[in-house]
Amino acid sequence: MTPLLTTHGLTKTYGGLHAVEHVDFSLKSGEIRAIIGPNGAGKTTFVSLVCGRVPPTSGTIIFDGEDITQMPAHRRVRRGIAYTFQITSVFGHLSAYDNVALPAQRTLEDGSSSGRLHSAVMSALERTGLAERADTPAGTLSYGHQRLLEVAMGLALKPRLLILDEPTQGLSDGEIASFMELVREIASEATVLLIEHNMDVVMGLAGRITVMNAGRILAEGTPKEISANDAVQRAYLGTENHG
C-alpha cells in the first residue's frame, strides 16, 4: 500500500539552528500515529512543514502520491490535510457554531445549502461534546473546550489526515477519556497524526510512535517497542518533566 504521507530529507533551519534535520517519515492511511519527544525536539515544526504553515529549507513532502512541498497551506486543506494548533486559534468573538461553520463551508459544493451546513456543523460539535455550547462565544469557553472546538473545526473539513498538536492539554480526565474514544472513531474514516505529551494517551491510542529529539527521528515502533527502547528512555520517557 502506498503511504498517505511521506517526507524525504525534510529540513528546516533558522540561521544555524536545525529545527528539523533530514527527516524521512512515512504514514499509512488509517493509522493513528503519535509523535513524542522533549521540548525543542522539532515536533511542531515538523507538522507545520507538513501542513504548509512553514516552508522547508530542503527536502520533499508527498501526500497521496502528489508532491506538495511548495503547495500553499490553503490548497493542502483542500487536499484533505487539517491541523489543530498547539495554541488555540479559535475566533473568540464568534460562537462555537460559527467557528465550525467557517471550515464546514469549504466542504460543501453548494455554499448556499444552509441545511447541509447546519447538519455538518452540529455533527462536528456533537462528536466533540460541544453541541450544548453551540451558541456560546468561543472566547468564553474553558481552555479545554476551546481545544475540543479546534478538533470540531478540523473534523468539519472532513480531512483525510487530521493533525492534532497537544489536543488533551487543558482537558479533565473525563474529557480525555471521551477524546480518546473520539480519536478511535475518527480513525475509521481518516488518518490521525498526533503530538502529545500525555503518555497514557499516546500508549492508549497510537499504533506506532515516532520519537523526535534535536530535530531528528530518534526511534519508531509500537508502544511496547518504544517503552523498551533505552535511547528513548534516556532522551524522553525517563525524564520527570515532559513539558
Specify whether 70 is located in the same domain as 93.
no
CA distance 14 to 16: 6
Cell numbers given for 215: 530535530
Residues 146 and 172 in one domain: no
Report the chain's terminal Cα–Cα distance, integer Å. Answer: 36
Model confidence pLDDT, tens digit, residues 115-157? 889 999 999 999 999 999 999 999 999 988 998 999 999 999 8
Per-residue pLDDT of 170-186, as tens digits, reads 889 999 999 999 999 99
Average pLDDT, stretch 188-213? 95
Contact 114, 141 (CB under 8 A): no
- What is the residue range of 72's domain? 1-80+159-243
> Cα separation of 78 and 17, whole Å?
32
Residue ending a domain, choose from 120, 141, 158: 158
Q: Does residue 239 have a pLDDT over 80?
A: no
Query: Same domain for 172 and 52?
Result: yes
Q: How far apart are CA 105 and CA 100, in angstroms?
A: 9
Which range (63-67, 133-137, 156-160) has the least confidence?
A: 156-160
Residue at which a domain ends, from 108, 127, 158: 158
CATH number where 218 lies: 3.40.50.300
C-alpha cell at 28: 499509512
Q: What's the pLDDT tens digit per position in 2-59?
A: 899 999 999 999 988 999 999 999 999 999 999 999 888 999 999 999 999 999 999 9
Domain count, the chain: 2
Band of residue 169 on the pLDDT scale cut at 50, 70, 90? confident
Residue with cell 507538522: 47
pLDDT at residue 194 in the model: 95
**Alpha helix (H) ranges present in 83-127?**
96-107, 114-127
